[in-house]
Amino acid sequence: MLAGLLLIGLGVTAPAQRPETAAGFVIGAATLQASASGTKVTVPVLTGGRRRLMSTEAVPADAAASVQRSVIPGSLVDYRVSHGDVVVPADPSATFHKALTKGTNPVFDTKKYGPELAARDGRPGDLVAAGWVFGKGRDEITIGDGRLVTQDIAGRRLPRPVKRYEETYRVARDAHVYEVNTADLSASQPSSFDRIPVTRNHSYTTLERQAAFVVFDRDYRHADAAKVRAIYYFTPHDTSDGLPVWDVPTQSALLKDKGTDPVSGRPYVEILATGVTQAPYTRSTEPFEIVKDTLYYVGDNEVALYLLHAGNRLILIDAGWPGSGYQYWTNIERMGFDPRKVTDVLISHGHGDHYGTARELLTMIENAGGQVTLRASREDVEGIRRDALGNAWTIPPAIPASESWLRTRYTPYVYDQFLEFGSVRIMPITTPGHTVGTTSFVFDVADPARRGHRIRFGFMGGYGFNGLERPTTANGFRRLSFPLGLSWLQQRVDVDYVSPSHTNQYPIVEVYQALKAYNNDPAHRRHPLTMLDALTTGEFANFNEKRYEVISSAKSDTQPGYQSIETYGPFKPGRETGEPDVAVTLLDGGKVIRGFNKYMNVNPAIPLLKDGIVIARDSYVHDPDGYYVQVYADVHDAYSGYLPGSGPVESYRATPGTPEILRTQRLGSRADAEAILAGLRAGSTYRVDLTRASTIVVPPDRPAFRATNS
Ligand SMILES: [Zn+2]
Ligand SMILES: [Zn+2]
């Protein structure tokens, strides 16, 4: 009142009545009504306890067309109403803000995090949630994704069962309830709380799952006090895929002793879980601390997300699958942090399973008044136009054109330099191949156990083939860049531990589950171990070796669909028939690389890890008795670091001479490899014979590296 009087006293016109924000569910297509004063857009929605036709104010025809295009039937939307008309803002496509859309895949969203109604006038929007209805009480409703964990991976009961993403909400007495018919949206109608069906139980064999969206009466700042003011439940019900769900990755070796699924009659270990986008509920896992107060795993059991904490900085590595954000953000909260306080998001590469929730996360942070820096590689966002030699290329980026928002607000990496976050440092390293801008990382953190000591984790940014299985005219430079990135990480990067970007690359989730089972054993409860006790060191080179051999070695030619570089190339220009007696100048003293050992993270202290974990996929390259000498070297021949007509390989790094990483043919023992290594000196020039795949020949009758006088 006082403020109003002051405004009038100062001669300012009193503001018009504030528009009100309303939420509704769109149950039909938007239609246009033109008149002399402009065009109105009319949308049928469920709101205010009934079916209503909401019409916008009259606007120019192009603005009305933009509104119409933006309205998606089957969506929960919010909008502003003034004098009975929906207000069309400066950006007409924002008139009906979409909070959630009911598609064919189930939608999950916890109360406090994720999508919410639009922020308006500097205020965050009210909260929304989505999932399957698992309970209904007097004035409350329970919604979740059905995940129920009662035992650890060793089969011992947990102290308490865990319903990981299930929440119970208070329902306002005057809440409106609607039944949405997704088979015929126009048949949707107001309903009542009593009529909401409830999913029968949490068993994976229960196929019928009752889906619902709910809208709260408060924003996130008052989440604890928030009550449900609207419930939209869906007919017909969702159907789950009926497949068993585990915390460990699908088909994990730790499922070997789990027996047989009574429904399909197949061993649990053989059942491949449904893909994440169709069934995010099948792929959740428990988040865990890796380094005390510093490094956490907050991903799912398929794609890894890491959270690093340093003072007031919260750094998230990758943003995971779209549709699984409810898991990641709850995981962050469970580790003791607020996802709205994330300050930095680093994307490893431009695929949807790594940036999938980035936009929602950024919106959530910014609606809360926070600021966040999003980093990604320039190559994945904008493509490659030039390499370090000045060669021009027109190589398209990894992200699709539709992700233009990312282009407008990302900060590109500067490679090979640490980003400093106080007690945490992260180095981005370019390792293209999987995509043109795949970025790997070193996480360098303080060792909580030893003052002044640092520990390092290696994160390889893109480990999968992604179209590199066979050579094509277009993929040549990526075929060669991929093993270059892997061998670069082996040769040039020293880390203690592996932090994989997917769980089928290194068994980090199995290691945690084995650790949890160990600590859950009454015999160990008084002396629990940590992840740093459970993880083994020195595995990064081995982890990279697997993929190196899968793409390089002729062993892969027997695998369906695979064609190795050794046999099928591409071969570097000038070496198509091999190159005898070529001069190479070593830029390092070389390293011995052991063949891939499929028994990863062997740890005798923890029963489930005593023989390590074997990840079946591509383990045919297992060859722990093979050894190689690998060198970083400048080769004095006609090859200049790129494939004409395809793209840059070594020439993408700004290093004079475009040095290569080369290795010898397989040696039968570590002693043989050490003997060769002993004769090598950094800075010296040797003569070697190269195969057409640029492998250093180990001749039976003379040294592989022959000294020259130069
Ligand atoms: Zn990818
Ligand atoms: Zn991926």
Ligand nearest to the CA of 500: 2
Closest CA to 552 of 618, 492, 499: 618
Q: What is the mean pLDDT of residues 613-641?
A: 97
Q: Which helix (H) or strand (E) holds 707?
A: strand 706-707
CA of 485 to the centre of ligand 1 (A): 15
Angle between helices 325-334 and 358-367 (to 10 degrees): 50
Tens digits of residue pLDDT in 97-152: 999 999 999 999 999 999 999 999 889 999 999 999 999 999 999 999 999 999 99
SS3 698: coil
So what's the pLDDT on residue 9? 41
CA of 466 to the centre of ligand 1 (A): 7
pLDDT band at 709 (very low <50, low <70, confident <90, very high): low
User: Using an 8 Å Cβ cutoff, are 487 and 663 in contact?
Assistant: yes
So what's the pLDDT on residue 708? 87
So what's the pLDDT on residue 16? 56
CA of 595 to the centre of ligand 1 (A): 25
Residue 627 DSSP one-character state: E
Ligand nearest to the CA of 437: 1
Strands 211-216 and 128-137: antiparallel
Tens digits of residue pLDDT in 38-52: 999 999 999 999 999
CA of 434 to the centre of ligand 2 (A): 9
The question of ipTM being above 0.85 is answered as: yes
For the chain, the domains span 21-99, 128-239, 274-428
Tens digits of residue pLDDT in 358-392: 999 999 999 999 999 999 999 999 999 999 999 99
So what's the pLDDT on residue 203? 96
CA of 321 to the centre of ligand 2 (A): 9
SS3 340: helix
| Cα distances (angstroms) measured from residue 447 to each of 119, 456, 592, 704 | 41, 9, 28, 41
Mean per-residue pLDDT of the chain: 95
Only one residue has tokens 């893109």, namely 462
Tens digits of residue pLDDT in 141-176: 999 999 999 999 999 999 899 999 999 999 999 999
pLDDT band at 7 (very low <50, low <70, confident <90, very high): very low
Q: List CB contacts of 565: < 8 A, sequence separation 6 or more.
A: 471, 479, 480, 483, 551, 552, 693
CA of 440 to the centre of ligand 2 (A): 13
pLDDT band at 5 (very low <50, low <70, confident <90, very high): very low
Q: What is the mean pLDDT of residues 75-83?
A: 97
User: What does the block give as tokens for 140?
Assistant: 């409350």
pLDDT at 8 over 80: no
| Distance, CA of 552 to CA of 484 (rounded, Å) | 10
CA of 465 to the centre of ligand 1 (A): 9
pLDDT at 6 over 70: no
Tens digits of residue pLDDT in 262-296: 999 999 999 999 999 999 999 999 999 999 999 99
CATH of range 21-99; options 2.40.50, 3.40.190, 3.40.50, 3.30.43: 2.40.50
User: Using an 8 Å Cβ cutoff, are 495 and 382 in contact?
Assistant: no
Q: Which helix (H) or strand (E) holds 428?
A: strand 424-430
Tens digits of residue pLDDT in 183-195: 999 999 999 999 9
Closest CA to 455 of 299, 599, 294, 315: 294
Ligand nearest to the CA of 303: 2
So what's the pLDDT on residue 121? 87
Ligand nearest to the CA of 466: 1
Domain 274-428 = CATH 3.60.15.10: yes
| Distance, CA of 642 to CA of 484 (rounded, Å) | 12
CA of 355 to the centre of ligand 2 (A): 10
Closest CA to 76 of 31, 37, 22, 156: 22
pLDDT at 654 over 90: no
Q: What is the mean pLDDT of residues 606-635?
A: 97
CA of 434 to the centre of ligand 1 (A): 6
Only one residue has tokens 């040294």, namely 703
